[in-house]
Structures are given as structure tokens and as C-alpha cells.
Amino acid sequence: MRGVVLALSLLLFLAVLAVALRPAFTTPARQPPIQGEVSDAVDSAQLEGRRGALVDQLVFTREAEVGRVTGLIEAGTHQLFTQGISSPTVFNRLRDSLHTAYDLSYGTSSELTLNPAGPELADGSLNPFHVPAIREALNRLINRRHIAEEIYGGLAVPRYLPLSTAFPDYARLADVARELELRYAHDPEAAIEVIHREMEALGARFDEGQWWYAGEPVRLRVLIRTEDERRRIGDYIANLMEDIGFVVERRYRTAEEASRLWIASDPRAGHWHLYTGSWITTVIQRDQAEGFNFYYTPRGRAEPLWQAYEPVAEFDELADRLQRRDYATWEERQAMMARALELALEDSVRIWLVDQLNASARAANVEVAVDLAGGLSGSALWPYTLRYTDRVGGQMVFGTPGILTEPWNPVAGSNWVFDTMLIRATQDPVVMPDPFTGLYLPQRLAAAEVTVQQGVPVERTLDWLSVESAEVITVPDEAWIDWDGEAGRFIPVADKHPDGITARTRVRVTYDPTLFEQRWHDGSRLSLADFVLPWILTFERANEQSPLFDIAHLPVFEAFLRHFRGWHIVAEDPLVIDIYSDQIYPDAETIVAARAPTPTPWHTLSLGMLAEGSGELAFSSNKADRLQVDWMSLVAGPSLPILERHLREARERGTRLYPEVLGEWLDDDEIAARFAALTDWHAERGHFWIGNGPFQLHSVHPVEGSVVLRRFADFPDPADKWLRFTTPMVPELTLDGPMVVESGRVAVGADNGPWAAGGGEGLEGADFQLSVTFEGEPYPQEAIEQVQYLLFDGRGELARRGQAEAQGDGQWRIRLSPEALAALGVGANSLELAVTSRRVALPAFASHVFATVPRGGMENAR
């Protein structure tokens, strides 16, 4: 019984800790709404006729010290910070200041990226992390709860899987996730046993507390980011490695410095073994099926590290199938996801550590639409909604830990969130993700029609698109399906598949009728060539005979070919395009977002293609490294003189790329006008970055560490178009129930409240009550998608799962039968709930611990 009481005490402590922390970080005091109508202080006349952004100029400056955030906002030198704050000390200062406000987001994670090259590196040294079993063992060596509670001060939760604990798939697969979390729980002795066995199999020896290989100590280089809590994580990991016998070299680096090593260098060079990585998901991922393909296979990215990944055949095939959504039923999909999670942990080229709760800091008189996953830096809507509450226009200054971390180019440029945040402001996507649900909304589409093969599991939520099913979806003969690089033309379906082909989906997108009246930042009008040239480049980069061929592009392209079935321009005015594919997503809105072509200015893209084709620059870091040329940047550095020369030569020659295809939409006058506009743009601003978003890139100052964006006056939309979002309705949960239950009936006691019965006999089974609210009001029953419960016994094994019963708005009941309680045996148990809402995509969780005791054993338990 003493063991039962100790286990119960521990579970009670953790439950109380979770409840104690939750209110401080989910419903902060004095927090103003993060979206809504423009403040009454703004005269409506100021908005009338205003187009595009509500602020005139944005200045981004390098500021890596998060401890200065509150002071800089209070001093008025800065209005916002791009880096989410996860430091409890800084968060408390931010919360308590009268001059600051903040918005919470849940899509940032920290992990360890492992170098899998080997077993020997280029210098002959041993890389232990070439062995999957050693990588897998690190999951048990690392104490994630220590990282979450001690390093992040409770502003994080342990994470084991390539599934965000804040996104829908984690709730859908809660039973699988919990089982794996228990299997890989902190167990350093088991981890060390595996590491010793595998190291000895590699030929290493352990002598007097240290590992040796080929007469030298086994040395690990830990690449540690310095800007945030990852510095402490890196030191913690380095200490663990030293404790188990490795010599550790700690390499402290900023984002830009680290990028040159873990992203841009060949893993076999051995510049690093472990890197303290972090990822931010910039939109709520309602379906995380493609994460396995991205994080664990060469198809994920073109960089050298990804090309070193060698997943086992089963995992590789499963990741590819999940990326293509190659399943017939939802049940098959769930089974595939469950198996992929197991294989991901066995592979472990990444060790997931924690999911963070981040606060995006802003001045109290600033409002902006913040994504629940990506925060401010990941928000698609931030450029469209950023504003002062008391005026229209003006300037804002952003602090950001990194600027121009990697080169900007529209093909394979920077993937760093602080670069892409700025890039996003200069672009205008055809669809926008809802920052609370992750469902896509139309921006430049007038309509979308999704047709799926009968039986394919796809659902529609919003009414701006339609979904229908068909027994057979035949791809038309005239649709483009391949590319003939030698002839410079697309290959139609009729030529490649004379007998015809079918597809699982067809997406028809109809664009805004005014699309081709809109302008790029240099004044050029959009044209159909802006849609077609990027499409050509996709095929050219996979053509071994082309000077644009990039071997690192092949894995991505080959995965694309496995589901692509054709592309057909149905009409040009308005533009209507059909896209055929065998790839599906559970949400029809996501299918449209994944398929709808987005334009890229053909004249800037042409410059890049000319420079790469001449062998002087490369779009991707992988190709740049192989050719020993510069990774192309359209905004700064040694790329600019090369691009300038190609622009001058293109104007002189009237260069026309792929006339067989583009000649229909590009005449000599159009070509001359585009290149002239780009020449003027470069002469005035010194770069080649052209977009069509609400802000244009005005100036770039790499040495000073600043970038300036200015409002694009010709942006077509009213400034208040996206100001309709209100505070996200994240459910707030309170779970009540008995603390001690006799097997088969509810125990009577002072704490049992409504579960106690007269006469001391109690009720059969046990009832637990869940209250679901938002800002103190009951959460509407119709807004709740499901309330799932998981019942774990004292051994941490899943004993039962089911659905709670609705009892009206905001009230739900979970009833455990006498049989369910009897199956638990005697000891400490845990009831865990996952609530999913239709109004926000983030699931909410609650837990309740209780003990089951033998009938008549209440006195012992007390």
C-alpha cells in the first residue's frame, strides 16, 4: 500500500502543478484581444479608401537579447519582437508592464538534430550517431521533464514524437502517443546499456570512464545556439555526453553562424554531431502526415544533411505514402500514422524535446493577427492586420534575433522563420490560413471546386469551396503532365499516356477576375507567364541534361511525380486552372491550398535561372556547395553584381526563355517593359526582390543589421479586409471527480461532493464531471467536436478509452463502470481527457488522478 500511496502522491503533485501553471499562461490578466475591430480611437474616415497595410514603414533591427525586450518597448524604441518569449523571467516582466502586451502561440518545438554520417567521418573519427540504436537510446537518456520545468520554467511540455502536442493529430492518436511516451520515458540505465553495446560493436572501447576509438578519445562536437534557452539545453546535453564517457567540444553559435555548419556543410566533414534545433510551425497543421517525409527522409529538403538520411525501407515507404496520403480509409491512415511514429523513434535522426508556449511581445497600443501555432513570426496575416490602436499609418520598429540569416531566393532560399516572416510581407498568396483553425480562406480565388474519387476520405468545413465525388476522374488529353527539356515544351497526357489516366482528385481553381490588373512592386502587371515559368522550372531542375539540374531537388521531385497527374489551363479570363493528383488531405480546404498555383515574377526568376545556368550561382545550398559557387541571394552579397550583369545582357539581347511555351503570353514589348522596370527598381533600391504583397522591400543593410519595408500603395485590397478575427476560443477545462474509489463503487468521503451517497453505501461505478468554458462562459456544445477520455492504470498502461457524454453547454460526464474500475486493480490511476473544438484547432487537455482500493480498504488509503 505504501507504494500505491507514493505513486498517488506523485501523480497528485503533477496534476496540481499543471492546474497551478495553466491559468497564468492561458488566460493572462489585462491581456487585450489579439484581434478585433479597429479601436474607436481611429476615425473611420482614416480607413476610408485606404488600401493595403495600416502602417507606412517597418524597420527590422537585429536584437538577440530577449532580456531587453520589455525595456526597449517601454522606452518606445521598439514596438514588436519577432522571437517568441519562452523565458519565465522575461515573460513575467512582460506580463506585469503597463506598456506591453503579448499574444500566445503553441507551435514552437525544440529538438536535437543528429548528424547521421559515418560510421567514420572524413577525418577518420567515429560518429556514434550513425547507429540508429544509439540515436534511439538518447530518448531514454534525456530527461524531458527537466528541460520543460527547469530550463523553460513550466513554459513548455515534454515532447517525444514528430507530432505537436498542440495539434489535432496528437489528440486523434492520443492512445498511441501515450504508449510510446511511456515506452521511451526517462531511463538512463537502459539507455547506457544500449550505448555500450553498440559502441563496442563499432570497435570502440570503454576504459576508465572514457570511450576510445583507433587510439583516440571519441570526441563529440555539440553545436549550441546562444540566443535563447537552447544554450542551457546544449549545456545539459553536453554534460550528459561527458557523464557517459565522451569528450565534448561545445560550439556556441548564433543562428547565422550555426547555419553554415549544420545546414550548409557536408555532414561527413564532421563540423558537428549534435545541434540544438528548433522549429516553428507557421500555421496550424490539421494533418501532420507529411512530417515523417520532411524530417526523416532525403525528400524533406535539398540541404546536405537531409541527403545523408537513410531511413529503413519500411519507414521510407511509409513516409512517402503518408506524404502522398496513399490510403483508402481514415482507419488505414491512423494505422499508418501509428506505425510511422514507432519507426520515427527507432530512427531518431531527431530527438524531440519539448513543445514551447511562446509569447509574442508588442507595445500595448499595437494590435496584430497572431497565429496560434506560429505566433507573430509565423502569422500569414500579420502584414495585413498590423496597426496602432489609436491611429492609421506611422512607423514601427521590430527587434529580431536574425536578419538575412540565409540567402533570399524564390526557389530554394532561406527557410529561417525570421527571414520568411519578412518575405511573407512582400508576397500575396492566393489563399490564407485561418490563424485559429488552420483552415484556408480565399485571398485571390473567386471559387474552388474539389472532386474526389468515391470513397476517398475528404471533408469540407467552409462554404467558399465545393466538394463532390465521382466514380472515375479522367485526366483530359490536353493536360500537361511532363516536360520535354530538349524541345522546350510541355508533354500532354495524350502523348505520354495514349490509353489515358485517372486521378483521385481534381481541383478547379477560379481566380479573381481582376487578377491580371494587379501589379508587382516594380509596377509590372501580373501575367500568365508568372504562373507558367515556375512550373517549367520545377521540371527543369529535375532534368539531368539541363544546366538548371539540381540533384538535391530529385527526391522532392520524384515524390511529387508519384502523385501528380496533370495541370490544365481551362480559361485565361478569368484564369481557371485544373490540377489533377492522387494526393489527398483530410480537409478539402488544404487540398486547394496545396494545389492552387501561386505566381512568381517571371523576370526576377529568369535572372536567377540565367545565373545558375551559366554556373555562376545556385538556387540551393546543396548545389552551391557542390559547384563551389555562391548560394544565390536576390537581396544582398556577391550575387548582386552577377544578377545585374545578366539583367543588362538580357535587356540588350531581348532574352526570351522557353518561347515555345511562354511566347503565347510574352511579346517583345512585355519583355522589354519588365526588364526596364526591374532595372529601375534595382537602381533605386539596390536589390532584385520583387513581390506583390502589402509591403515592399525598400532597403537592405546587411552590415548595420537592418531591413526596411514600406507600404505598397498599389495593393488592391481595402486595409480592413482581414480585421474580422477575434480572440481565439481556446477551451478552458476543469475536471472534477473522486480522489479515492473502492473497486466497483464510489467511496464515501468528505471530498466526494456530489458523488457521495447517503447511508455510506455510495453509487455503483464512478462519475467524473468536465466543465468546458471560455472567458468564464459555458462553451457551446455544438462547438465541441469531441471529448475523448483515456484511462491509465497504475502501470501506465491504457485500460480503456471512450467518449464523454454531453450534459448541455459546457458540461460533460465520464462514467466508469464497476467493471472498468475492477480492471484497474489496486493503485494510482489517471484519467486523461482531450477536447477538440470546431472553433480552434488546438486540442485542450485535462487529467485527474485517483486511487482504486479494495472494497473495505478506505481506512488504509486514508
Task: Report residue 677 as a C-alpha cell.
Answer: 522596370
Summarised one tens digit per residue, pLDDT across range 239-259 is 999 999 999 999 999 887 888
**What is the predicted pLDDT for the residue at 793?**
87
AA identity, residue 110: S
CA atoms of 123 and 113, how far apart (whole Å) = 21
Q: Is the pLDDT of residue 6 over 80?
A: no
CA atoms of 547 and 227, how far apart (whole Å) = 40
Per the prediction, the chain carries an average pLDDT of 88
**What is the predicted pLDDT for the residue at 30?**
29
Q: Is the pLDDT of residue 759 over 80?
A: no
Over residues 130-142, the mean pLDDT reads 97
Rg, the chain, Cα only: 28
CA atoms of 755 and 778, how far apart (whole Å) = 22
Lowest mean pLDDT among 212-221, 494-503, 846-855: 846-855
* Spatial strand order in the sheet of 505-511: 465-470, 445-453, 505-511, 575-581, 564-572, 480-484, 489-492
Which residue from 58, 62, 66, 60 is spatially nearest to 401, judged by alpha carbons? 62
Over residues 695-703, the mean pLDDT reads 95
Q: Is the pLDDT of residue 353 over 90?
A: yes
Over residues 721-741, the mean pLDDT reads 88
**What is the predicted pLDDT for the residue at 16?**
31
Over residues 127-138, the mean pLDDT reads 97
Q: Which residues pair with residue 467 across a beta bridge?
A: 450
- 625: phi then psi, degrees, rounded to nearest 5: -65, -40
**What is the predicted pLDDT for the residue at 31?**
35
- pTM attached to this predicted model: 0.80
Q: Would you tell me which CATH number, out of the four given (2.60.40.1930, 3.50.50.60, 3.40.50.410, 3.40.50.1460), belongs to the domain 2-28+727-861?
A: 2.60.40.1930
Please check whether residue 384 is in contact with residue 238, taking contact to mean a CB–CB distance below 8 angstroms: no
Please check whether residue 709 is in contact with residue 813, taking contact to mean a CB–CB distance below 8 angstroms: no
Band the pLDDT of 764: cuts 50, 70, 90. Answer: low
Q: DSSP class of residue 856? A: T
Secondary structure element (H or E) that encloses residue 243, with its range: helix 230-243
* 280 three-class SS: strand
The alpha carbon of 371 is separated from its chain's Cα centroid by a whole number of angstroms, namely 11
Which residue from 461, 460, 439, 457 is spatially nearest to 841, judged by alpha carbons? 439
Burial (Cβ within 10 Å: 0-12, 13-18, ≥19) of residue 721: middle
CA atoms of 176 and 158, how far apart (whole Å) = 16
CA atoms of 3 and 509, how far apart (whole Å) = 63
Band the pLDDT of 725: cuts 50, 70, 90. Answer: confident
**What is the predicted pLDDT for the residue at 87?**
85
CA atoms of 205 and 351, how far apart (whole Å) = 25
Residue by residue, DSSP assigns 419-452 as: HHHHHHHT---SEEE-TTT--EEESSEEEEEEEE
**What is the predicted pLDDT for the residue at 392?**
93
Domain locations along the chain: 2-28+727-861, 441-598, 601-685
**What is the predicted pLDDT for the residue at 47?**
76
Band the pLDDT of 466: cuts 50, 70, 90. Answer: very high
Omega before 119 cis (within 30°)? yes
**What is the predicted pLDDT for the residue at 42?**
61
CA atoms of 102 and 85, how far apart (whole Å) = 9
Please check whether residue 707 is in contact with residue 699, taking contact to mean a CB–CB distance below 8 angstroms: yes
CA atoms of 354 and 234, how far apart (whole Å) = 14
Secondary structure element (H or E) that encloses residue 846, with its range: strand 844-853
Summarised one tens digit per residue, pLDDT across range 315-342 is 999 999 999 889 989 999 999 999 999 9
Task: Give every CB contact of residue 451 below 8 A, 6+ residues apart in sequence.
Answer: 467, 468, 469, 470, 473, 505, 506, 507, 508
